[in-house]
Amino acid sequence: MEKSCYNQPMLSRDFQKLIETDTVAAARALLGMQLILNGQKLGRIVETEAYLGSQDSACHSAGGRRSPKNESMYLPAGHWYVYQIYGYQMLNLVTKAENVAEAVLIRALELPDGRLIANGPGKLTKYAGIDKRFDGQSLATSSLQLAYDLTPNQIASRPRIGVTCTDAWREERLGFYVAGNRHVSKVPKRGLLDDEDTWKKE
């Protein structure tokens, strides 16, 4: 991971308000942000998925389900929710008010060195060393942080990957990614762009 000095990156009040009020908008806004661990840049977020609480049958809190495993989802916006599935850790940012239990899954990073080793949610956490220690931590105090970086040229959407529900939520286009970016998971290889060509020029 790239060594860089990030001291408690400050996110705007607008972003804080966004994650408190709109999970879908938060999933889109996270694209292009840097994920920071212990002051070092891990990579730029290129893929996310929104999970919309009790109404969403693909969500861990569907129908109000609550257990020690998903308790962190019920924290207020701005907390990390980390869970394990098939031996892999999954990193989520909690959104909305306390006890609403919505979140955004962070699925893939574009790494500073261009390697394709964080292009999937399990690969991302393995690369970064993210595990259950971060579950329930707040952005206000955690060593795992977010920082503004670049804006995507285009955001595309698709149904979420690997959801097991069989109702209409299965096809909801709640997966968001940077169009043409080769670090996005499970995309056709044709038509992909050079990394720098998927971001707006500052």
- With a cut of 50, say whether residue 19 has pLDDT above it: yes
Q: Work out the pLDDT band at 9, boundaries 50, 70, 90.
A: low
Which residue spans within the chain are E strands per DSSP? Answer: 34-37, 40-51, 80-85, 88-95, 102-110, 144-147, 155-158, 175-178
- The pLDDT of residue 10 is 62
CATH topology of domain 13-198: 3-methyladenine DNA Glycosylase; Chain A (3.10.300)
- With a cut of 80, say whether residue 14 has pLDDT above it: yes
Q: How far apart are CA 80 and CA 50, in angstroms?
A: 14
Q: What's the predicted TM-score (pTM) here?
A: 0.94
- With a cut of 90, say whether residue 5 has pLDDT above it: no
- The pLDDT of residue 202 is 73
Q: How far apart are CA 92 and CA 103, in angstroms?
A: 6
- With a cut of 50, say whether residue 4 has pLDDT above it: no
- With a cut of 70, say whether residue 6 has pLDDT above it: no
Phi-psi region of 145 (alpha: psi -120 to 50; beta: other; left: phi over 0): beta
Mean per-residue pLDDT over the chain, rounded: 94
Segment 39-91, tens digit of pLDDT = 999 999 999 999 999 999 999 999 999 999 999 999 999 999 999 998 999 99
Residue range 101-115: mean pLDDT, rounded: 97
Residue range 194-200: mean pLDDT, rounded: 97
What residues does each domain of the chain span?
Answer: 13-198
Q: How far apart are CA 67 and CA 79, in angstroms?
A: 17
